[in-house]
A and B are shown apart, each in its own frame.
Chain A
């Protein structure tokens, strides 16, 4: 993460120096600041930690199946906010959850990773 951060800061700095993006704004509004703290502290820090734990316990191919749960949770979030998913979205969500569960149950039966 430290190395990745250094690379990303370098890329952003080069983009600013090259004039591809405007200079970094240091006066964000309250919503943007809260969003930054959420995404930095919670989503990225906690997410990367659990992703690495998942890769260690389950292996990369199986862990990557979980990525397709992201749109499924977006649908569930939309449901809580009063949006109605389409039939195809529901079907897609069931398919992803089924695929993940199939591998997870198989993993639980087979035991530890070699």
Chain B
């Protein structure tokens, strides 16, 4: 498969993902009438984890899965994201939450540069301000009058955002981040 076709397919998959993740907001509202935020996070990951585990066993043809240190780090980062992000949404003003959520691309790019010394992709410094400002404006629908302030949950949102960025960076194959995780441990 050509590189451009691969990139186009990856983009299409991500667009589908954003449609699905966008549908999670009203879905979670329905679920919150029955379960608390912690239980919802755990339940949905139990379902998804089992399905992906089954898929992995199928692809690996039943070979035993070896969990190394890197897998534990990646799993912990997802768990920190899921827990802190839910707590952040619950304990922050809506406009502030929208603003912090929209900063994702900036956080990821800065972390890639600051921690792993990865050069940012060309053109991203032009795209980030548009994506961040656009994301904040687009998220203003039901949030008008929701308030802009500091209630403590904002720190959870920032930690959650950093954990997701850390997960994404560490799971890039061939990246400096990945190679760093892959360094052999001292005997």
Contact = CB atoms under 8 A, between A and B. Distances in A.
A66 B174 contact: no
B140 to A, nearest CB: 6
A9 B101 CA distance: 25
Most chain A CB within a 10 A radius of its CB, from B21, B35, B51, B128: B21
B60 interface: no
A80 B58 CA distance: 39
A40 B18 CA distance: 15
- Size category of the A interface is 35 or more
Given A56-B172, A68-B132, A22 B45 contact: no
Interface string B22-37: 1111011011011110
B75 A60 contact: no
A88 B140 contact: yes
Interface residues of B, number: 93
Contacts of B82: 4, 8
Contact of B127 (A36, A60, A100): A100
Interface in A52-83: 52-75, 77-78, 83
Nearest to B123: A106
B133 A92 contact: yes
Interface string B64-99: 010100011011101100110000000000000010
Summarize A's interface: helix, strand, loop or mixed: helix
Given A4-B75, A66-B18, A67-B18, A36 B47 contact: yes
B34 A25 contact: yes
B131 A68 contact: yes
B124 A63 contact: no
Interface in A25-52: 25, 28-29, 31-32, 35-52
A94 B134 contact: yes
A36 B44 contact: yes
Interface of B: 3-4, 6-11, 13-25, 27-28, 30-31, 33-36, 38-49, 51-53, 65, 67, 71-72, 74-76, 78-79, 82-83, 98, 101-102, 104-105, 107-109, 112, 118, 120-124, 126-128, 130-141, 165, 168-169, 171-175
